Amino acid sequence: MQKPFITSWSGGKDSALAFFRAVQQGHVPIALFTMFEEDGERSKSHGLKKQILSAQAERMGLPLVIGQADWAGYEEEFIRHLQNFKEQGIEMGVYGDIDLQDHLDWVEKVSGKVGLDVLHPLWQEARRSLLEELVEEEFKAVVTVVDTARVGEEFLGRVFTRELIEELESLGIDACGEEGEFHTTLVDGPIFVEPLPVEFGEIIRNGQYSMLEVKLQTGE
């Protein structure tokens, strides 16, 4: 059964692959949904500016819906958006989680409150096969955030390739970064009509996290 869906969009490789698979299954994407910091400046966790996420959405031919909240108001704001989606006839939310049970439980809880179905196309799949698929399908994701307690800054700006996967694994790092070891920014792939023209700026340090600034090449 084809369902109209929104996809939880971080701008990185896992949400991209989850979206890709949902479309391959015949579901119909209506919008991307991203949570931002309360000041609206940057997205949660991946720390991307709206400009970058909007440029990704444009290349997917989809509108970007933004929620804004601090962590205290996060759940309420998230549910408010899910309720809006439901009222617009959207039937399902798609999420890129691989095996964070707590997060899946939370997503099912808040979705259940408004009667939205949930799809986790990557759930409990072998990390290696997910990474292989990303590379084979020619997704191009760049490492833009690292948790320096676990991953060195020298990985910032690296494109996600077979070599990078092997390098991360040889260092004992989960190459999916599922637990926040690092985050990526998608700059090209089969879900984009054209590549994202990005350039990388300074490294911004925030506690143990180091983030490579991502900007669009043309204008701000």
Q: How far is the CB of 134 from its own copies (least distance, A)?
A: 13
Residue 155 binds its own copies (CB under 8 A): no
SS3 174: coil
Q: How far is the CB of 191 from its own copies (least distance, A)?
A: 6
Q: How far is the CB of 121 from its own copies (least distance, A)?
A: 13
Out of 87, 102, 194, 220, point to the residue binding its own copies (CB under 8 A).
194
**Residue 126 structure tokens:** 């072998």
Distance CA 97, CA 121 (A): 8
Q: Which of 35, 6, 55, 23 minimizes the C-alpha distance to 220?
A: 55
Residue 130 binds its own copies (CB under 8 A): no
Give the Å distances, CA to CA, from 87 to 23, 34, 48, 80. 22, 18, 28, 11
**3-state class percentages of the chain: helix first, strand second, coil last, to nearest 5:** 35, 30, 40
Distance CA 11, CA 54 (A): 10
Residue 152 binds its own copies (CB under 8 A): no
Residue 20 binds its own copies (CB under 8 A): yes
Out of 1, 26, 136, 217, point to the residue binding its own copies (CB under 8 A).
26
Out of 192, 198, 210, 214, point to the residue binding its own copies (CB under 8 A).
192
Q: Which stretch binds its own copies (CB under 8 A): 61-69, 90-98, 99-107, 158-166?
A: 61-69
